[in-house]
Amino acid sequence: MSIGYACLTVGVPNTNFKSCIMKNFSESKLLELISHNLNSLENIIDYNIKNNIKLFRLSSDVIPFGSSPINTLPWWDLFSNRFSAMGNKVNSNGIRISMHPGQYTVLNSPNEDVVYRAIEDLKYHNRFLDSFDVGTQHKIVLHIGGIYNNKEEAITRFITNYYKLDESVKSRIVIENDDKLYNIGDVLDISKTIKVPVIYDNLHSQINPFDKEKKDFHWIELCRETWKEKDGFQKVHYSQQDVLKRIGSHSTTINVNGFLDYYETLEGRQDLDIMLEVKDKNLSAIKCINCTTNNRKISALELEWTRYKYLVLEKAPTNYLQIRKLLNDKDSYPVISFYNLIENALQKEININHSINAAQHIWGYFKDIALEKERSSFFKSLENYEKGKVTLKTIKNLLWKLTQKYNQTYLMDSYYFIV
């Protein structure tokens, strides 16, 4: 079983993607953007390898205007060396990649033009994955599309248009239930005709159920039948509702207790990959991996603690002390209590005294090496923050600059700087 995350990272330097608006489009601009984005993508892959994350969705935005007629660059050729290098890393580390065109790629539209663009977009996604030289278990996830006042016809159109796709594109397509129009029953039905694997999304099914009496595992077992040998392990999407936001909004982080409730219903099945859809991305991936791994070593939690500790200290000093105590027994693996305390701390409102205390802790790394003007600048900012003149972000930016300047590797990976 692999657990992974989608497209972007949180708190990993040099992993951002750039784009431009059509108005500023030019070939040289495009070359520059692609080159930058491929660097970022390789950094993400390196990060995933280092953190033992074996499942990752590639962003569609790596090649700006990837399927647009304005992009006539043979990027797969121009950057073939870069793709090979990344492909080797993916293959040799047993990483499974995937892509997921957005909600605007609609294969079943009654508008021919829209369908044409959808087909072009799927070709782009397939070409992108092909550039890594990976097999057909590396999938392209697609929703069914719109209804246009006649669901039956819309489904027929989806099937007809699916058959128009190239064999190589079809070999990667998998279909997913959505939160509005096509529930898991609909998607499984479509799969019966076109024999395409089905991804079960738990949150979509909760919002748009076929039969709300049926549990997640029921659907996962039915979907399992749609995955063949050449498709690799069955994949599912897992996410939780953000309680403060609109129905369907993904949560900030994956709540460990909720995830484990779900995980336990899977009856120990290991031939299943779980793609998390969550705002804190890689952070939740590491969390869920640590919660489900058979390799229960406290060193994994200690490593996590180096990343979370100042954020916890800033939000909840009590939790900070509790976690330190929790990690004292080196033969234990108190993973659930550990993440419960972290999640609890991060939910708390910022308290000005606690945040000043945490900033001073970080300052401790620099107090003996910083220049006098850096010292005065820090304390001046701290004073201004206390008076409400500047935000905490200013303080953190200042400390982040010092972290980089003085190469404080221990602080480099700290989530403290992700405001």
Partner DNA sequence: CACCGTCAAGTCGCA
Partner DNA sequence: TGCGACTTGACGGTG
Task: Kindly tell me which of 16 and 84 has the beta carbon lying closer to DNA.
Answer: 16
Task: Kindly tell me which of 228 and 401 has the beta carbon lying closer to DNA.
Answer: 401
H or E stretch at 414: none
Which residues, at least 6 apart from 65, have a Cβ–Cβ distance to it below 8 Å?
22, 25, 30, 71
CA distances from 107 to 118, 201, 356 (A): 6, 20, 53
> What single-letter DSSP state applies at residue 55?
E
C-beta of 319: minimal distance to DNA in Å?
27
Residues contacting DNA: total by CB under 7 A? 35
5 touches 54 (CB < 8 A)? no
Site for DNA in 217-276 (CB under 7 A): 246, 248-250
How many alpha carbons lie under 13 Å from residue 366 in its C-beta half-sphere? 28
Tell me: does residue 4 bind DNA (CB under 7 A).
no
Query: Which tokens hold the place of 200?
Result: 């079960």
300 touches 293 (CB < 8 A)? yes
- Binding pattern for the stretch 393-412 against DNA, x by CB under 7 A and - elsewhere: xx--x---------------
Give the range of 22-30, 195-203, 282-290, 322-330 binding DNA by CB under 7 A: 22-30
Query: Which tokens hold the place of 170?
Result: 């079809």
Tell me: does residue 49 bind DNA (CB under 7 A).
no
The number of beta carbons lying within 10 Å of the beta carbon of residue 82 is 17
How many alpha carbons lie under 13 Å from residue 224 in its C-beta half-sphere? 13
Q: CA 237 to CA 37: how far, in whole Å? A: 25
Give the range of 101-109, 287-295, 309-317, 407-415 binding DNA by CB under 7 A: 101-109
Which one among 72, 88, 111, 270 touches DNA, defined by CB under 7 A? Answer: 111
Which one among 60, 109, 202, 403 touches DNA, defined by CB under 7 A? Answer: 109
Task: Kindly tell me which of 7 and 412 has the beta carbon lying closer to DNA.
Answer: 7
C-beta of 64: minimal distance to DNA in Å?
9
C-beta of 317: minimal distance to DNA in Å?
26
Chain residues binding DNA by CB under 7 A are: 8, 16-24, 68, 102-106, 109, 111, 113-114, 117, 145-148, 181, 246, 248-250, 279, 391, 393-394, 397
